[in-house]
Each structure stands twice: as structure tokens, then as C-alpha cells.
Amino acid sequence: MAGSTLGNKFVVTTWGESHGKALGVVVDGCPAGLELTEEDIQIYLDRRKPGFSQFSTPRQEADKVEILSGVFEGKTTGTPISMVVYNTSQRSHDYGDIATYYRPGHADYTFDEKYGFRDYRGGGRSSGRETTGRVAAGAIAAKILRQLGISFTTYVASIGDVDIDRAQFDADYIMKNELYMPDKASYERASEFLSDVMADNDSIGSSVECIVSGVPAGIGEPVFHKLDACLAKAVMSIGAVKAIEIGDGINVSRNKGSYDNDNFFMRDGLVSKKTNHAGGILGGISDGADIVLKAHFKATPSIALKQHTVNQSGEDITISVRGRHDPIIGPRAAVVVESMMAITILDLMFDNMSSTMAGIENFYKK
């Protein structure tokens, strides 16, 4: 499959380059009858908008979304929803010099190897701006999921060695700070640390956690299209993500079965668990508990510090990447993680609808 389409029933196709005319997305398979406005999308896009934090690129992009199709009289029609965001601040001249060499940590070299050349302006398609379309699609998926009683809590869990204080977790605080961290003390320590990193002309890694509540048990297809496998792909496909953990994540490889197995109990007449080491997924299928995923983002590869690299003439050179860059990826990427999870969970919920004869007969029999 070519690279820019994802999903089986809720199908997302994104397009656009960092410094092209526009970026956009086509969402096909959105069910008919969903009330949808551009404002529903804009709320999500604003969470990744550049230029509005001391910790993000000063590039100012309004990122105003326009819906071009698929909505009629305020409701989705079941046909493709095309959404576009026009680029308004393409200072291509910032990037002219990167046409001839390969920035370390970037996709310049690999795009050249794959395609023979590349749109070098701001990274072209490999830019973080590529996620605009993902978030627009994710806003729709998340709205549908909310109507089904499913909600998301997404936040930055660490910045460098500054970890959040889980004892002070305050979900309401997440949207109140530009680092999207869930406690004030951690935000303040991280801010200070980030300022130092920026002063050093360096950048820093971070991690993002996403917790999904209300997913019914039974979602995910056994074997290759397990819920966790599909989530891992969706989130790992975000640029700069280098590790994915579900539930206890890497710690499971150090733990014993007697610890790791979440025992079942009856609670209010329902099968329940007291622990959730599994992160809400057993055998690739949701078990009704919270879905818990953590994504690890590397530091922004664009740094003004001197680096060694090579140019297209095959010469060793020393460079310093100028331009307008975020010093950290996680905060603006949190909504991208949430979007990719929403898209994936919704798609698997659609896939799940034909799992049993009883469900099918109930759907089709009058």
C-alpha cells in the first residue's frame, strides 16, 4: 500500500507538504448522521498549532480548517469528508541551504535514497506539519467515540528526566499548560529545564501517555490485527516516535506471571480487574479496562549546534540547522497520539460489528 492511507472502514488519507500550498485529509467511511462543524475540528488542530508557546517554533500558522465535502446541513452524509488547511507562512528561503546536504536525524537522506530527490523545503512531507491531517481526522473519530461513551486523557509524561508526579495527577491541569503536563510542579520543573536546553541550542526527548476509557470489551481482531498491534503501528507512524509501551510496557520483561496477571473479580455484577498491568488488552482484544499506551519521542533533530554530516556531492561537512524549530516534540504531538488512537479504535470497532451471527442478525433482521 502506498503510504498515506490508513484504515479499513474509517479510512484516512492525508496529503501535503510543510511548505506547499496546503495540507489536508480525506476521511472516508465516516458514518452518516454525525453532527459536525469546522469548530469540532479546529479545537483539535489548535492543540498542535505552532507559534503560540515559548516552547514551540515561532512560525505562525493559523491552521484554519475548511470542510470541502461530506457534510450537508450540519451532518455527515456518509461520503468522504475532505478537509484542507492552507499554509500561510512558508518562508522557503529559510530552508534553501538544506537542499544540498543531509540533516542528521532527519529524513533528508532516506527520502533521497527512496525517491531520487526531495522537496527539501521544511522537510516537505516528512515535516511534523504532515500530522495536521491526522489531527483533523482524529477530531472526527474522537467525536464519534465520545458519543459512544469513550473518552481520552492524553498528556506529556516526561521531558528529559523530568517525570510527572503521579500522586499529583490533575487531569484538568493538562489543557491549562503549554506543555500539556498533568501537574503544576512537574510543569514548572520541565519549563525551567526546557529553557536551559534551548539556551544551549539543543533539543530534548519526551514521552506522551494516552488513556482511553470506556472502550467496550471485544474490540480488536485476533492474530495480526490485534488492538495493541494496530495502536502500535498507528502511533509509531508519528514521526520521532521510537518506542511504544502498552500497560506495564517494558517492565513486563522483568516481572513474574504472579505479578503481571491481572486477576478478575466480580464488581457490581460485571467482570472486572483490580490491577491493569495489561493496559486494557488481552490477546489483542480490549478487556473493558482503560487502554493505556505510552509513546517515546526523540528530541527534535533540528538543532543549531554544530553537527557533522555529508552533502549530496559526497563531502564531509559541518552544519548548524537554522530556522524555526520546536525544542521538543511531545507537547504538540500529544493530540496527534490521541488522534491516531481514536482513528484506530474506531476503525476496529467498525470491524468488530460483524463478529457474531447474533449481532449480524440483530442488525439486519426487521
Which residue type does 269 have? G
- Which CB sits closer to a copy of itself, 167 or 314? 314
- Which CB sits closer to a copy of itself, 62 or 244? 244
Please name the residues in contact with 203: beta carbons below 8 A apart, sequence gap of 6 or more: 197, 299, 300, 301, 302, 303, 325, 326, 327, 328
Which residue type does 219 have? I
Nearest approach in angstroms of CB 272 to a copy of itself is 9
- Which CB sits closer to a copy of itself, 119 or 183? 119
User: Terminal CA-to-CA distance of the chain, rounded, Å?
Assistant: 39
Nearest approach in angstroms of CB 291 to a copy of itself is 13
Angle, alpha carbons 174-175-177 (nearest 5°):
80
Nearest approach in angstroms of CB 69 to a copy of itself is 5
Element (H, E) at 357: helix 357-364
Q: How far apart are CA 134 and CA 25, in angstroms?
A: 7
Cβ count near 250 (within 10 Å):
10
Nearest approach in angstroms of CB 234 to a copy of itself is 8
CA 96 to centroid of chain Cα atoms: 29
Nearest approach in angstroms of CB 351 to a copy of itself is 7
Nearest approach in angstroms of CB 59 to a copy of itself is 18
- Which CB sits closer to a copy of itself, 104 or 172? 104
- Which CB sits closer to a copy of itself, 50 or 122? 122
Nearest approach in angstroms of CB 259 to a copy of itself is 8
- Sign of the CA dihedral 252, 258, 261, 266? negative
The residues pairing with 291 across neighbouring beta strands, listed in sequence order, are 212
Nearest approach in angstroms of CB 227 to a copy of itself is 9
Per the structure block, which three cell numbers stand in for 215? 472502550
Q: How far apart are CA 331 and CA 158, in angstroms?
A: 10
- Which CB sits closer to a copy of itself, 228 or 338? 228
- Which CB sits closer to a copy of itself, 161 or 170? 161
Length of the chain (residues):
366
Q: Is 343 within 8 Å of 138 (Cβ atoms)? A: yes
- Which CB sits closer to a copy of itself, 172 or 358? 358
Q: How far apart are CA 23 and CA 86, in angstroms?
A: 6
CA 33 to centroid of chain Cα atoms: 26
